[in-house]
Structure 1
Amino acid sequence: MSTNSATAIAKSGAVANSSAVILIGRVLLSSLFILAGYAKLTGIAGTAGWFASIGLPLPTLVAVGVGLLELFGGLAILVGFQTRIAAIALAIFTLAATAIAHLDFSDQMQVLLFQKNISITGGLLILAAFGAGALSIDNRRR
């Protein structure tokens, strides 16, 4: 086997492995949003009550909007459909949620949630930059 053939085989294996890793990353990243969106939409009263308690205007409307964004944005990332747009929308949402609800650094739980959200935003921005990978609807549409 020539060096070029061995290199081509190694690269094709790396591409296949990276596609699977990107898919696993999308599944893990999307699960947070899908579950959170579903919980908000099936518990609108509780979500709206909490949103009202932190001073958000039109809390029921905001709860529905946030729930839909999280659920459908998470599903889009899961299947790799319009992934870059979904990732950017969820990154902006995550930063906004962090600014609204997780800036009390005297509370260790809020510090942890701040760090979690910043990390999630980083993952979403990477996904927005590099796309959903080969195992996605986005790739099949090409």
Structure 2
Amino acid sequence: MMAAIFLISGFGKIAAPAMTIGYIGAMGLPFPTLGFALAVVVEVGGGLLLAFGFQTRIVALVLAVFSVVTGLVFHHAIGDQNQLFNLLKNIAMAGGLLQIMSFGPSALSLDARKLAKATPRAA
């Protein structure tokens, strides 16, 4: 379920690249087109990897850092209640992702299946 917000956001960016690139540029960041591409790769790629549970701990850490960084860059105007809410949302997501990183993937993940194949069964 944590992956859903990244997938929806990433596909939203793909649907409106000019708007996203303009927003990145309006924040004063250099190379907005590169930032757009990076955001899409992290959100869609990371979202899919997290949803399927592949390299879960690493992906969760990357998405947690991404959430905090994007929250601080794009939602720093905390005098605006909507921006404050979005910043807190990003921080809360990072907390959930750090929990995934700490405790690992579920039993239904690709990581768990790989581990089960690699672990010999007791006789």
TM-score w.r.t. the length of structure 2 is 0.90
| Alignment check: 8 A CA contact 1:40 1:64 kept | no
1:139 Cα shift?
A: 0.2
1:140 Cα shift?
A: 0.3
- Aligned match of 1:112 in 60, 85, 91? 85
Tell me how far apart the structure 1 counterparts of residues 90 and 59 of structure 2 sit (CA, whole Å).
16
- Aligned match of 1:135 in 96, 108, 116? 108
1:38 Cα shift?
A: 1.3
Match of 1:20 in 2: none
2:28 is paired with a residue whose SS is coil
Match of 1:46 in 2: 19
| Alignment check: 8 A CA contact 1:51 1:59 kept | yes
1:124 Cα shift?
A: 0.3
1:41 Cα shift?
A: 2.2
Larger mean CA deviation between 125-134 and 35-44 belongs to 35-44
Q: Which runs of 5+ in 2 are unaligned?
A: 116-123
Structure having the higher Rg: 1
| Residues paired across the two proteins, number | 115
**What is the CA RMSD across the aligned residues, in angstroms?**
0.8
Tell me how far apart the structure 2 counterparts of residues 50 and 39 of structure 1 sit (CA, whole Å).
13
Match of 1:88 in 2: 61
**Percent identical:** 38
1:37 Cα shift?
A: 1.0
Match of 2:50 in 1: 77
Regions of 4+ moved over 6 Å: none
Q: Deviations over 1:89-137 (max 9, x none)?
A: 0001111001101121210001111111111000000000111111100
TM-score w.r.t. the length of structure 1 is 0.78
